């Protein structure tokens, strides 16, 4: 099943057990029994109800089965992922956090952490990669390694549920939405002229502790001073550091605003960290050729 | 004569012609005749009067002598500079703009421009290097190459006067100052707490079109929210692009201000261009954990 | 016909001439012939088309008829208005600009201006009162008095068309809207806490050159930092001076934000002038206990 | 002794006891014994040392003498003050807080509070009036009335010391200063043009709970965007509510900045409360024709 194939909640509600289990068999990694177990509860009034039912099945399962579920997950940036021996979901998820393009040193670091984690907890390290950048996964990994052996399986299971929610969100079309989406948007107001700044080129980059910035998105403001689409939406915003770059110098030059030569402000960088992947980060710019303000807005 | 040896206006006013000419002989590159010619006008009431007298001598000199003065200057980033066969002033001035640490490609580029310039105008390219970064010298160079053969010698002479003014300013102690100094300062106001932000680490870097940022200065704000000394003062601010980096995340963490984890703002970059080397660029930051403003202040 | 009785474009399109003329007979003051003349052009695809048709009828009418139309308007703040001898539309329109509660001195001033205007132009002074405050009507009146006798009838007719558009907008329900509405809204962002400020009491007052401020609207911000409804909408914003008053002191006290005693900021007044009645004036406040910003936003 | 007669610390240090006591006899109200008692400690190295010595004498005096000192103070806004039967210092101090121009209702209110206070504590209510506006004296009065009979005399004595420090500061010229001065200043930065705003008219008014604003000071910004002198300095800033009014509309009109008609911003009011009379309140304005920011600066 490819990432883009979707199924409607309605058709799931009328599917027989085999079709239902095929459709949702990979929501939980290598654990089609979760889908199978909820088939009898059809019809589901909402996607949230389906998700809750599957979560309940996992929570109610015997401890050994839950541990088997955890153990069924691939190592992050591990040999299986490198060799392609993971579900297509896992592959895409790991790629979303940049784990498919690690340096040898980073790969070695993950290898070391994976070994330490397995040695301490007896399970692979599981994290909902779509909620993270590479840096935040590493920080999170180091942090989780400090957990007690009783606390950590709960933390791991929590991540399994997050992964499942995002997979359901991608796979199933339903009238309701799971709360798994964030939004990163911006707005440019020209306080020199007193109206929205149209035609301002903006780039969004992800910054990493090592290595240069990675371009994520770019756009140009419309007549309302906004980009036509948010830079990130319909997915969690990976926890991490970002930089918006507003090309205001060329904007004010085009408008004929008096500036120094070269202009005092050319490309304005606004750097910020995302801590809550499911939140709305609205980061506007109020700008003249000589000043600007930015803030976490709403 | 080393760059640090200074002489007082008072002692110049009482010096005999030989001593006077030695003291000021290198204000104009390889042209001690300028100093010699103004000796008879002593005493000078001010440094400005001395400077004006020397400028007048140059302007009144026969055209051939003025051309010889221009021709006496070394190429920028040229073989003479590389070989050390220039005055110590010229050497220090070229180094101040980074011309002593060019890549081979940049060296070749200067070589090409020098040749084209000499071919068109018959003189070496002269620019007051202390007023420039490497990038702005190159832009300026390309721009000057477009001048007409009648206009360019005047532009070159203007640079010679700027160089002379800066040399005088460094060499002669006097009650008055020539208008050759700029100032780059900052200030951090914590608008979350309503008082100056003390203990904020700040770095100043010069940005270049090619190559990474070059650290220029750093400091930590005092109780008044300022660095104890301006980042740049008592000299022109080289025309160029700069970035101030305010470490506000650790400041607010230390103060116990509520923040997200990681903090929304960690290191705030403020990027701006300097166009007027002899001006005051005051670039403050008004900041909370969730917002900031900056502007060209005074 | 009361101000609240509305009729649908659809029913107008199927109405006979008598009903049509009754419904739209007062769109132009004492000039039902305008409505009557466009009846034959039914059906109208849009409200805009109906408005344009009526405008065209007036423009194409003989000059004497147009003058009669102008002369049919009552004096502003005149004896007829005082005595109630004007259409209910006129009465409501004059009241909207405060012309029904003038002081004797103001009444005398209008009387004087009306006389001067009639003496110069031979028609009553006509202005679309819903687009004005009392102060701006007076300024406008003095300004129009300076017009030439050839230019002024065009200015008067333009106001007649504005009045007609607003009356149509109020009377006829249609899928489209005439561009006769402005909007005045606000938004409070707590940049101390990094989220919208909920529960901030806000008042809007109209300021006048003489006499105290007049309360127009008030509200309290919701979880999104906005009032549930714009302070002014679905009508032109009268040209005039306004003050928003944001009760931020009690907001920050309630949130337990550290403040001085008494708080540095209690009620923040933001005073501004509206020049374009059909525009959107969004006037937000970004605020901490020690600072605030405001701007004309979008 | 009039308020403007000053004496130098040097001459006090060499004065005989009679002259010394005359010079400082009214620093403590009707208590020349305080000055007399410190005469033997001459010479005083600083004004602070003189003040501390006098404070120590009061603290070390027998309880009855301290109570007599407290009882020697006139009622605030009392009959003695109205009849002129108080020291010239007291008279000027009460006037500084506006207590010489109370309405009959306010006078009656003070009368009632004075009676209640005397009935509870057996002394007149003493407050350093120069640190207060009328409103804050009333709030302070109500607050002090809640004190216990053991705590209140200490609070009263503390006010006596504040009054004495301010009287010493006014009367004695010395190299050092007592920490009794605050400062209220402003600054206007034109972020539309990127430089200080020169020629902006500014007014400072004190706002009161009842009655209109009271003009305190006004000025026009110089080339540096500041008024030549702070609006309040060399004295405490009375605790109270203030409004700065920046005439930015006429400033931008004069500069030819594009604005709406009428301008969006004309007179910008900035309203704030002073809680710390001995502090520096710097309240700047960063302004364009369409936006502004203000904050408690430094």
Instruction: Show residues of chain C in contact with D271, CB under 8 Å.
Output: 265-269
Q: What is the torsional sign of CA D256, D257, D259, D264?
A: negative
Task: Please state which of the ranges A151-165, A242-256, C100-114, C161-175 shows the lowest mean pLDDT.
Answer: C100-114
Q: From C274, which residue of chain D is nearest by alpha-carbon distance?
A: D264
Q: Which two tokens stand for residue A59?
A: 């929570």
- CA A221 – CA D5 distance, rounded (Å): 68
CA A265-A266-A268 angle, to 5 degrees, is 80
Q: What is the mean pLDDT of residues A40-60?
A: 97
Q: pLDDT tens for residues D121-147?
A: 999 999 999 999 999 999 999 999 999
Q: What are phi and psi of C171, to 5 degrees?
A: -90, -35
Q: pLDDT tens for residues A75-91?
A: 887 777 777 777 888 88
pLDDT at B33: 97
**Of how many residues is chain D composed?**
298
3-state SS, residue D199? coil
Per-residue pLDDT of chain C (298 residues; tens, 9 = 90+): 344 589 999 999 999 999 999 999 999 999 999 999 999 999 999 999 999 999 999 999 999 999 999 999 988 877 777 777 778 888 888 888 888 888 888 889 999 999 999 999 999 999 999 999 999 999 999 999 999 999 999 999 999 999 999 999 999 999 999 999 999 999 999 999 999 999 999 999 999 988 789 999 999 999 999 999 999 999 999 999 999 999 999 999 999 999 999 999 999 999 999 999 999 999 999 999 999 999 999 8
Q: Which of C264, C286, C293 sits opposite B194 (nearest CB)?
A: C264
User: Facing residues of D297 across strands?
Assistant: D282
Q: Which of A260, A268, A295 sits opposite B275 (nearest CB)?
A: A260
Instruction: Show residues of chain D in contact with A258, CB under 8 Å.
Output: 193
pLDDT at D1: 36
Q: What are phi and psi of D35, to 5 degrees?
A: -60, -45
Which of D206, D249, D261, D273 to probe by mutation at the C interface, max C CB count within 10 Å?
D273
Residue D288 to residue A258, Cβ atoms within 8 A: no
Scanning the structure block, which residue is given the tokens 């490497």?
B134
Neighbours of A (≥3 Cβ pairs closer than 8 A)? B, C, D
- CA C34 – CA C15 distance, rounded (Å): 16
How many beta carbons lie within 10 A of that of residue B209, not counting itself?
11
- CA A188 – CA A249 distance, rounded (Å): 13
- Strand ranges (DSSP E) for chain D? 7-8, 172-173, 182-185, 188-190, 195-196, 201-207, 214-220, 232-235, 240-247, 267-274, 280-282, 285-288, 291-295
**How would you classify the pairing of strands D7-8 and D172-173?**
parallel
Q: From B223, which residue of chain D is nearest by alpha-carbon distance?
A: D298
Q: Are C87 and C26 in contact (CB under 8 A)?
A: yes
pLDDT at B3: 46
Residue C293 to residue D296, Cβ atoms within 8 A: no
Instruction: Show residues of chain D in contact with C269, CB under 8 Å.
Output: 269, 271
Neighbours of D (≥3 Cβ pairs closer than 8 A)? A, B, C
Neighbours of B (≥3 Cβ pairs closer than 8 A)? A, C, D
- CA A144 – CA A156 distance, rounded (Å): 9
Instruction: Look at residues A244, A283, A289, A242 and name the one whose alpha carbon lies nearest to residue A265.
Output: A289
> In this structure, which long-range contacts are made by residues C248-257, counting pairs with CB atoms below 8 Å and at least 24 apart in sequence?
C248/C188, C248/C197, C248/C200, C248/C285, C248/C287, C248/C289, C248/C292, C250/C201, C251/C190, C251/C197, C251/C199, C251/C200, C252/C192, C252/C289, C254/C199, C255/C190, C255/C193, C257/C192, C257/C193, C257/C289
Instruction: Show residues of chain A in contact with C194, CB under 8 Å.
Output: 295-296
Which of C256, C265, C288, C289 to probe by mutation at the B interface, max B CB count within 10 Å?
C288
Q: pLDDT tens for residues A12-32?
A: 999 999 999 999 999 999 999
For residue B254, give how far its alpha carbon lies from the nearest alpha carbon of chain C (Å).
17
Q: Which of A191, A224, A295 sits opposite C191 (nearest CB)?
A: A295
pTM (two decimals): 0.93
Among chain C, residues having any CB pair with chain A shorter than 8 Å are 189, 191, 194-196, 224-225, 286, 293, 295-298
- CA A80 – CA A77 distance, rounded (Å): 8
User: If residue B96 lies in a helix (H) or strand (E), which one and from where to where?
Assistant: helix B88-96
Q: Which two tokens stand for residue B113?
A: 């421009």
3-state SS, residue D256? coil
Task: Please state which of the ranges B87-96, D154-163, D222-231 shows the lowest mean pLDDT.
Answer: B87-96
Does A4 have pLDDT greater than 60?
Answer: no
Q: What is the mean pLDDT of residues A268-294?
A: 98
Q: Which of A193, A260, A291 sits opposite D191 (nearest CB)?
A: A291
Instruction: Show residues of chain C in contact with D276, CB under 8 Å.
Output: 260
Residues of chain B under the 50 pLDDT cut? 1-3
pLDDT at B212: 85
Q: Are D142 and D117 in contact (CB under 8 A)?
A: no
Instruction: Show residues of chain D in contact with A289, CB under 8 Å.
Output: 194
- CA B239 – CA B229 distance, rounded (Å): 20
Instruction: Show residues of chain B in contact with C258, CB under 8 Å.
Output: 193
- CA B86 – CA B130 distance, rounded (Å): 16
Which of B282, B294, B298 to probe by mutation at the D interface, max D CB count within 10 Å?
B298
**How would you classify the pairing of strands C182-185 and C232-235?**
antiparallel
Does A2 have pLDDT greater than 60?
Answer: no
Residue D291 to residue A193, Cβ atoms within 8 A: no
C58 vs C123, C125, C163, CA distance in Å? Answer: 17, 18, 13
DSSP state of B161: H
Burial class (CB in 10 A: 0-12, 13-18, 19+), A25: middle
User: If residue B240 lies in a helix (H) or strand (E), which one and from where to where?
Assistant: strand B240-247
- CA D160 – CA D54 distance, rounded (Å): 11
pLDDT at D2: 42
- CA C128 – CA C123 distance, rounded (Å): 15
- CA B228 – CA B222 distance, rounded (Å): 7
For residue C283, give how far its alpha carbon lies from the nearest alpha carbon of chain D (Å).
9
Which of A211, A263, A273 to probe by mutation at the B interface, max B CB count within 10 Å?
A273
Residue C286 to residue A296, Cβ atoms within 8 A: no
Instruction: Show residues of chain D in contact with B297, CB under 8 Å.
Output: 189
- Strand ranges (DSSP E) for chain A? 7-8, 172-173, 182-185, 188-190, 195-196, 201-207, 214-220, 232-235, 240-247, 267-274, 280-282, 285-288, 291-295
Burial class (CB in 10 A: 0-12, 13-18, 19+), C194: buried
- End-to-end distance of chain B based on CA atoms, in angstroms? 37
Q: Are C44 and C82 in contact (CB under 8 A)?
A: no
Q: What is the mean pLDDT of residues D150-155?
A: 95
Instruction: Look at residues C216, C178, C210, C137 and name the one whose alpha carbon lies nearest to residue C50.
Output: C178
- CA D298 – CA D294 distance, rounded (Å): 12
Q: Are B32 and B21 in contact (CB under 8 A)?
A: yes
For residue B223, give how far its alpha carbon lies from the nearest alpha carbon of chain D (Å).
10
**How would you classify the pairing of strands B188-190 and B195-196?**
antiparallel
Instruction: Show residues of chain D in contact with B195, CB under 8 Å.
Output: 296, 298
Instruction: Show residues of chain B in contact with A272, CB under 8 Å.
Output: 264-265
Instruction: Look at residues D248, D238, D270 and name the one whose alpha carbon lies nearest to residue D134.
Output: D238
Residue D288 to residue A192, Cβ atoms within 8 A: yes
Residue D265 to residue C276, Cβ atoms within 8 A: no
Q: Which two tokens stand for residue D175?
A: 């190299």
Q: pLDDT tens for residues D4-54?
A: 589 999 999 999 999 999 999 999 999 999 999 999 999 999 999 999 999
């Amino acid at each position: 099943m490819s990432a883009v194939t979707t199924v409607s909640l309605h058709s799931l509600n009328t599917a027989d057990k085999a079709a239902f289990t095929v459709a949702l068999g990979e929501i939980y990694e290598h654990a089609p029994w979760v889908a199978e177990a909820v088939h009898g509860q059809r019809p589901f009034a909402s996607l949230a109800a389906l998700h809750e039912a599957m979560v309940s099945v996992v929570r109610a399962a015997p401890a050994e089965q839950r541990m088997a579920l955890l153990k069924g997950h691939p190592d992050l940036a591990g040999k299986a992922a490198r060799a392609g021996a993971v579900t297509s979901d896992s592959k895409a998820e790991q790629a979303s956090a940049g784990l498919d393009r690690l340096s040898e040193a980073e790969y070695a670091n993950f290898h070391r952490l994976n070994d330490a984690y397995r040695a301490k907890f007896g399970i692979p390290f599981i994290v909902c990669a779509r909620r993270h950048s590479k840096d935040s996964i590493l920080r999170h990994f180091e942090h989780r390694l400090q957990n007690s052996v009783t606390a950590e399986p709960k933390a791991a299971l929590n991540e399994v549920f997050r992964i499942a929610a995002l997979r359901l969100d991608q796979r199933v079309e339903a009238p309701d939405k799971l709360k798994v989406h964030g939004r990163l948007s911006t707005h440019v107001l020209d306080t020199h002229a007193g109206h929205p700044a149209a035609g301002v080129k903006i780039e969004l980059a992800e910054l990493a502790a090592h290595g240069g910035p990675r371009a994520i998105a770019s756009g140009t403001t419309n007549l309302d001073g906004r980009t036509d689409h948010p830079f990130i939406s319909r997915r969690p915003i990976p926890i991490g550091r970002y930089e918006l770059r507003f090309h205001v110098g060329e904007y004010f030059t085009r408008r004929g605003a008096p500036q120094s030569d070269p202009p005092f402000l050319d490309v304005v960088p606004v750097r910020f960290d995302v801590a809550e992947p499911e939140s709305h980060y609205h980061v506007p710019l109020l700008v003249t050729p000589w000043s600007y303000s930015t803030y976490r807005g709403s």
